[in-house]
Amino acid sequence: MKKAIPVLVIVFAFVFILAAYSQDFTYVGSAKCKTCHKSEKRGQQYPLWEARQHSKSFAALSTDKAKELSPDTPAAENPKCLKCHGPTEGFKEEGVTCETCHGPGSAYKKLSIMKDHAQSVANGLTDFKSADEIKKQCLSCHADAHESSFDFASAWEKVKHPVPEGE
């Protein structure tokens, strides 16, 4: 019986770790991000997003230009358009949200997890280690989008939202 207890502990730990890493992360929507990321102390990421074009990208699908570019299917229903203008599953009307770039927040949204970067990443937060990785993410939609050029450096200046020191 004494040998069975350590074996059971190891098996339980293995199952717990396996379950944690094999879970499906789901989108929670920008309102959940707003809870913590609206204050000046946290860098005002939510108000910055809300004031910028990414938050309005889905609305752009009802313009005359969108109708020209997607004449056979309403742009707001066209998967090709939604891939970039409303990519966050279940929250397409929010446009390009925090989770579009940072990953589904279901498992990292808790403050206790967000306080630990490594734990956040383990729970689905996309970790950009360099400007090149950020640029690659941006280019997944902006590379030759609608035959317009994309200058990453100037675009990044318009959308960056740094995390304050100590956060």
Name the band, by pLDDT with cuts 50, 70 and 90, for residue 14.
low
Name the band, by pLDDT with cuts 50, 70 and 90, for residue 162.
confident
**145 vs 153: which has the higher pLDDT:** 153
Question: 25-128, superfamily in CATH?
Answer: Flavocytochrome C3; Chain A (1.10.1130.10)
Q: What pLDDT, on the 0 to 100 scale, is given for residue 1?
A: 57
Domain boundaries defined on the chain: 25-128
pLDDT mean across residues, the chain: 88
For the stretch 66-124, pLDDT in tens is 999 999 999 999 999 999 999 998 999 999 999 999 999 999 999 999 999 999 999 99
80-85: which pairs have CB atoms within 8 A and are 24 or more residues apart? 83/141, 84/57, 84/140, 84/141, 84/145, 85/57, 85/58, 85/60, 85/61
Tell me the percentage of the chain whose pLDDT exceeds 70.
84
In 3D, which of 80, 81, 79 has the Cα closest to residue 61? 81
For the stretch 15-62, pLDDT in tens is 445 445 556 899 999 999 999 999 988 889 999 999 999 999 999 999
Q: What pLDDT, on the 0 to 100 scale, is given for residue 7?
A: 55
Q: Is residue 45 classed exposed, middle or buried when 0-12, 13-18 and 19+ CB atoms within 10 A define those classes?
A: buried
DSSP-derived letter for residue 43 is: T
Q: What pLDDT, on the 0 to 100 scale, is given for residue 134?
A: 96
Alpha helices (runs of H) in the chain, residue ranges in sequence order: 4-22, 30-36, 45-51, 64-69, 79-85, 98-102, 111-114, 117-122, 131-142, 152-159
